[in-house]
């Protein structure tokens, strides 16, 4: 009986370890030392004597971000790259602003679940499960919606006024892969014969999409 309990406990702990997001911290603080030049899973810790309140502060979400792209939305992150004190804490935020008609295109966060709180406006939001089911809803100011970790999701402002949300993540750096940009603007590029086969389109259509999505030269 004891052996069976031990086996179940081992399996439970193994599964818990696999589904957890960022690793748990092993000390009070591990402020990111991004200048260390050492590659680890996260960032090495800053010397505690050099830690200040500035390592835990960021004011970059107070105002709407400037939107100057073709999709009509912009994401302003408040993650470990902006707030070094988030290192090892397993949490971050972002603000997303949308023009009327603006879209946060289909994308995934490979390292985090996302939860949004609507600050202003109305949005059509949704995610797609691995069984190809769309879970979608219209949300308005004060509403909350959750996008499970790793699933493709989107937000679209179908209103005639700007909209904005605050997004929370259970990772200090959730990562973002925009589906279209990932496939059509990667370096080196995904071979055309892969894209034509996957999307059942010709090479001219592939080239047209690549040109549309290519970063604008300043």
CB 23 within 8 A of CB 172: no
Q: Among 104, 84, 126, 109, which Cα is nearest to 170's?
A: 109
The answer to whether 109 is annotated as binding is yes
DSSP code, position 119: E
Whether 171 contacts 114, CB under 8 Å: no
Structure tokens given for 37: 């030049």
Question: Cβ distance 91 to 176 under 8 Å?
Answer: no
Q: Which residues contact 172 (CB under 8 A, 6 or more apart)?
A: 22, 42, 79, 80, 86, 87, 88, 89, 90, 91, 92
Which tokens sit at 71? 């999709």
53 is in an annotated binding site: no
CA distances 35 to 75, 110, 151, Å, are 25, 25, 33
87 is in an annotated binding site: no
Q: Which residues are annotated as a binding site for Mn(2+)?
A: 107, 109, 114, 153
Q: Which residues are annotated as a binding site?
A: 104, 107, 109, 114, 153
Q: Which residues are annotated as a binding site for oxalate?
A: 104, 109, 114
């Amino acid at each position: 009986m004891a052996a069976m309990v031990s086996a179940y406990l081992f399996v439970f702990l193994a599964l818990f370890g696999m589904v957890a997001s960022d690793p748990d911290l092993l000390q009070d603080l591990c402020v990111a030392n991004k200048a260390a030049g050492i590659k680890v899973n996260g960032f090495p810790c800053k010397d505690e004597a050099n830690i200040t309140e500035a390592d835990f502060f960021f004011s970059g979400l107070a105002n709407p971000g400037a939107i100057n792209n073709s999709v009509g939305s912009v994401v302003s992150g408040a993650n470990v790259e902006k707030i070094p004190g988030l290192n090892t804490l397993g949490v971050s935020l972002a603000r997303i602003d949308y023009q009327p008609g603006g879209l946060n295109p289909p994308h995934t966060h490979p390292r985090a679940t996302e939860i949004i709180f609507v600050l202003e406006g109305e949005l059509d939001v949704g995610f797609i499960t691995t069984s190809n089911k769309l879970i979608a809803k219209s949300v308005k100011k004060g509403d909350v919606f959750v996008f499970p970790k790793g699933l493709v999701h989107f937000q679209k402002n179908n209103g005639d006024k700007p909209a904005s949300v605050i997004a929370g993540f259970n990772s200090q750096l959730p990562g973002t892969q925009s589906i279209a940009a990932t496939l059509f603007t990667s370096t080196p590029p995904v071979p055309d014969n892969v894209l034509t086969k996957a999307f059942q389109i010709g090479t001219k259509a592939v080239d047209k999409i690549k040109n549309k999505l290519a970063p604008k030269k300043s």
